[in-house]
Structure 1
Amino acid sequence: MTNNPYKSLPKKAFWRPAVAERHYADLEDLWQPFELKKAHKVATAGSCFAQHIGNNLAQRGANFMDMEPAPPVFDSEAEARRWGFGVFSCRYGNIYTTRQLIQLLDEAFGNRTPAERVWEKQGRFFDALRPSVDPVGQDSAETVIALRERHLAKVREMFETLDLFVFTLGLTEGWESVADGTMFPMAPGTLAGSYEPSKYRFHNLRHSEILADLIGVRERLKAVNPGARTLLTVSPVPLTATATEHHVLSAAVYSKSVLRGVAGEMAEDFEDVTYFPSYEIISSHPSGGMFFNPDQRTVNQFGVDYVMKHFFSGPLAEEFGAGHTADEDGDLDLICDEERLEDALD
């Protein structure tokens, strides 16, 4: 019997043996991998970094869901990705916030219709909820709506049939409609549409709102797919820009901290929710920033490799193989709508 509760804890619980006395490349036990079989259907959504997990799972033989495959009109996979094909499991583009996610789920199951679904730019029409997936737009708003209905049917099928939903939390900041609170992936006027202060407002989601969104997503998902599990990650990529009054560095730390806190609570409270620490692996100070490119924002291939090394460990290594990234073609060309915010600097 001991009067010190720390005596029985493993070495990974102590900073000195787990971090200080190890080279960063030799860290172990950063998470507890769950069991996933190649037959299980895996769907992905979220910010840019989620694309690495989906790509590696697919390359390693996982049953990656591609509900809207590219038609045979593109010259290359890279060109198809520019049009939103093969980026995530459905062609919804980046889903940066939990508010976007829960609203998409409600819309897909007929429980919500956004007041504003179409944006116009130079005589062409775009889906306001996924403006990046169609670089040239359509010739009418009616065509946009028809294409969106087809897309929503695939989203609904995805949620009904998946076994694992991988969602990477990216941002707390977003722009929403004053009329009904619809949150858009990009600010109006960036990719399409135009910004009018009377119609749109900035909203920096708080911890309580994000937690409520994710709990709501889980409840809705379990209602249509009782056996579904969720894997949450937080993108280590800092904000491109902030619409708050704060410096972008402070805003980025706030955003990621809140998202990390919520993800941790979800994993603690629900047995069917798991958290993978991609954010910590890349961004924690012992890494010395070595996983970032010179812009101090985007993650280099070395960093992606290291994240995948830890992801594919334990039961996942046994099923899918261990080692570095399975991206045999080199750096994955990530599709990141947020980077278009830098156009405002020109």
Structure 2
Amino acid sequence: MQNFRTTFQIPVSKHQISLDSQMLTLGSCFADVVGGQLRENKLDVLVNPFGTLFNPLSIFKILSPSYREADERLFVENQKLWFNYDFHSQFVSNSKENLQEQVNQTIYAINTLLSTTTHLIITFGTAFIYKLLNPQTYISNCHKMPNNLFEKNLLSVKDICKSFAILYKELKEVNPDLKVILTVSPVRHTKDGVPENQLSKSILRAACHYLTTDYEDITYFPSYEIMMDDLRDYRFYKPDLIHPNEVAEQYIFEKFAETYFDENLKSFIGEWQQIRRAINHRPFNEKSESHQKFLKNLLEDLIKMSKRVRVDEEIYDVQTALSRF
């Protein structure tokens, strides 16, 4: 039978992720997707703590251990709310002081976390970047301020690699064993224009190539290529035709797991998925003896699982359900 898909092999990474790994995801909204799936499978991961960051330079800037506190010049008020140009709009407050405290606490927490993180997963979204004209500096988010305050630029491969080299040196001083996984977001930035999006993605992909060539502890995961070639069909997109749908996200995550998870972790996830299915089971009769027995068995499995990962909430929910009998 004729093959109607373009599949390709992804080599298993030598930088394996285990159940004991501590991970941090940063970058575009696809970092939320990958991080969320890791978290759902009970891995130790902090998911996009700075909010969505699309361009590499903004990611590198706030990830740097030398970035100790938010730039005072980049706080801005818009419609009686305060934002910071370096951060996503999830960082918002009706007071500059409160926002400053919120942002700086997050910066401090990440700087502390970096010393114990085993895997840093960075997702690049676009090579387009905005420069604030006064003061002259690249920013992460325009926060719907007037267009005449900014200048839109396109990063080069050299810009990205040069900026990363500085960050890499700083990260290795803090955590010599840190492994970095780079990926290009499969989300299409069509607002920039379709040809412009392809240009942007090609720059990001080329930068990833050179970074993985120059640094042996950096690997690239081809989420973009999986979406563009293996899943080349609009049925794998959400109705906006920009974002991958849940089927595509799950498929890409399974490929990620095949590439990076060690055998013990794969085995654990198989066990955990069985428990998750049991948790999500909806009984025909909640008051039946058979359902009570089902819940008791589930509770036993969760208690055993609690020796390996945190399942406090799940245990509480099952105990609450049993208390209704």
Kindly provide the amino acid, as one letter, of the partner of residue 203 in structure 1: N
Higher helix share: 2
Which residue of structure 2 lines up, in the alignment, with residue 257 of structure 1? 202
Kindly tell me: are residues 257 and 314 of structure 1, through their superposed partners in 2, closer, same or farther at Cα, counting changes over 3 Å? Answer: closer
- Show CA shifts across 1:175-208 (max 9, x none): 12234543322224x2xxx3262x4221211111
- Show CA shifts across 1:138-172 (max 9, x none): 23222222222212111211222211100001011
Matches of 1:196 and 1:239 in 2, distance apart?
A: 19
Kindly provide the amino acid, as one letter, of the partner of residue 212 in structure 1: K
Q: TM-score scaled by structure 2?
A: 0.74
Kindly tell me: are residues 285 and 272 of structure 1, through their superposed partners in 2, closer, same or farther at Cα, counting changes over 3 Å? Answer: closer
Which residue of structure 1 lines up, in the alignment, with residue 141 of structure 2? 186
Kindly tell me: are residues 207 and 138 of structure 1, through their superposed partners in 2, closer, same or farther at Cα, counting changes over 3 Å? Answer: same
TM-aligned CA deviation for residue 220 of structure 1 = 1.6
The 8 Å contact of residues 60 and 321 in structure 1, kept in 2 or not, is answered as no
The 8 Å contact of residues 53 and 88 in structure 2, kept in 1 or not, is answered as no
Alignment of 1:4-153 (within 5 A): 22=3, 24=5, 27=7, 29-33=9-13, 34-65=15-46, 87-88=47-48, 90=49, 92-106=50-64, 109-110=66-67, 114=71, 116-134=73-91, 137-153=92-108
Q: Secondary structure at the match of 1:182?
A: strand
1:269 is the counterpart of 2:224? no
TM-aligned CA deviation for residue 115 of structure 1 = 5.5
Kindly provide the amino acid, as one letter, of the partner of residue 213 in structure 2: E
Which residue of structure 2 lines up, in the alignment, with residue 195 of structure 1? 146
Which residue of structure 2 lines up, in the alignment, with residue 301 of structure 1? 246
Kindly report the root-mean-square deviation, in angstroms, between the aligned alpha carbons of the 2 structures.
3.0
Kindly provide the amino acid, as one letter, of the partner of residue 29 in structure 1: Q
Matches of 1:212 and 1:280 in 2, distance apart?
A: 25
Matches of 1:52 and 1:231 in 2, distance apart?
A: 15
- Show CA shifts across 1:237-268 (max 9, x none): 111412xxxxx110110111110111121112
Which residue of structure 1 lines up, in the alignment, with residue 191 of structure 2? 241
TM-aligned CA deviation for residue 28 of structure 1 = 5.4
Kindly tell me: are residues 186 and 315 of structure 1, through their superposed partners in 2, closer, same or farther at Cα, counting changes over 3 Å? Answer: closer
Q: Secondary structure at the match of 2:115?
A: helix
| Structure index of larger Rg | 2
- Show CA shifts across 1:208-235 (max 9, x none): 1112122222222112111111000100
Kindly tell me the number of residue pairs found equivalent between the two proteins. 274
Identity %: 21
Kindly provide the amino acid, as one letter, of the partner of residue 30 in structure 1: I
Kindly provide the amino acid, as one letter, of the partner of residue 246 in structure 2: Q
